[in-house]
């Protein structure tokens, strides 16, 4: 199943677009991605892993152990609602690979500079492994397999359907499962027109 999470205030009984963004740094990342998927901004969905959507109250984004100090806590409002879909045709973006390069896309809105920042960052991390005479781990294994070629890395590893896809818009009305936090949310969703049998109240603390 494909999952999409958004605050209840941005939920509509029908087709929705990405929530408005007011952060220039995040926008730079999504604009860079738009050069590859050919639409911007994007609606994000997670395949099989609801924990990637942000539905939980709080989660931690972990960077590579070599990306020194790169750790960010993301707090999610209890007002969020999780929508599940059986089939979604979207543009694939691997979570682990996206997570390790996203910070390199924030400092410029020039694609050439952004690409250079990705290459420089990955090569720097790879250099740490070489200095310590250790074998590369996780995403860095794929960087080595790509021959440290950005085009190959993007094609074969980042833009590969593993656990995430992006789409230009999404019809929430066709969701097969709708998960919310409480009765108040459930009532509002019913009033919008969502089918009651598809709405459930769940605590996803132990979900993937």
Residue 51 in domain: yes
What is the tally of structural domains in the chain? 1
Residue 9 in domain: yes
Nearest to 99 by CA among 65, 149, 127: 65
Residue 104 in domain: yes
Residue 92 in domain: yes
Residue 52 in domain: yes
- pLDDT of 206: 47
Percent of the chain whose predicted confidence (pLDDT) is above 70: 84
- State the Cα–Cα distance between residues 194 and 6, nearest whole angstrom: 15
Residue 207 in domain: no
Q: How confident is the model at residue 19 (pLDDT cuts 50, 70, 90)?
A: confident
pLDDT digits (tens, 9 = 90+) for 141-158: 999 999 999 999 999 999
pLDDT digits (tens, 9 = 90+) for 82-99: 999 999 999 999 999 999
- pLDDT of 66: 37
Angle at 42 between CA 105 and CA 60, to 5 degrees: 60
- pLDDT of 69: 34
Element containing residue 45 per DSSP (H, E): strand 43-47
pLDDT digits (tens, 9 = 90+) for 40-63: 999 999 997 767 776 654 333 333
Residue 206 in domain: no
Residue 208 in domain: no
Q: Which domain holds residue 48?
A: 2-201
Q: What are phi and psi of 167, to 5 degrees?
A: -135, 160
């Amino acid at each position: 199943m494909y999952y999409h999470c958004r605050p209840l205030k941005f939920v509509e009984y029908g087709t929705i677009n990405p929530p408005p963004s007011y952060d220039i740094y995040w926008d730079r990342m999504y604009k860079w991605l738009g050069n590859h998927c050919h639409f911007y901004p994007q609606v994000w969905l997670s395949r099989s892993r609801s924990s990637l959507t942000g539905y939980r109250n709080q989660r931690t984004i972990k960077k590579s152990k070599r990306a020194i100090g790169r750790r960010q806590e993301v707090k999610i409002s209890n007002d969020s609602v999780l929508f599940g879909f059986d089939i979604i045709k979207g543009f694939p973006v691997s979570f682990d690979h996206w997570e390790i390069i996203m910070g390199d896309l924030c400092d410029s809105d020039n694609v050439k500079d952004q690409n250079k920042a990705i290459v420089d960052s990955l090569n720097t991390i790879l250099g740490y492994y070489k200095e310590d005479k250790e074998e590369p781990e996780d995403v860095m294994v794929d960087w080595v397999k790509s021959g440290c070629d950005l085009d190959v890395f993007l094609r074969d590893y980042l833009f590969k359907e593993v656990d995430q896809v992006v789409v230009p818009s999404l019809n929430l009305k066709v969701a097969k499962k709708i998960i919310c936090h409480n009765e108040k949310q459930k009532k509002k969703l019913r009033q919008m027109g969502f089918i009651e049998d598809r709405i459930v109240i769940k605590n996803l603390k132990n979900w993937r």
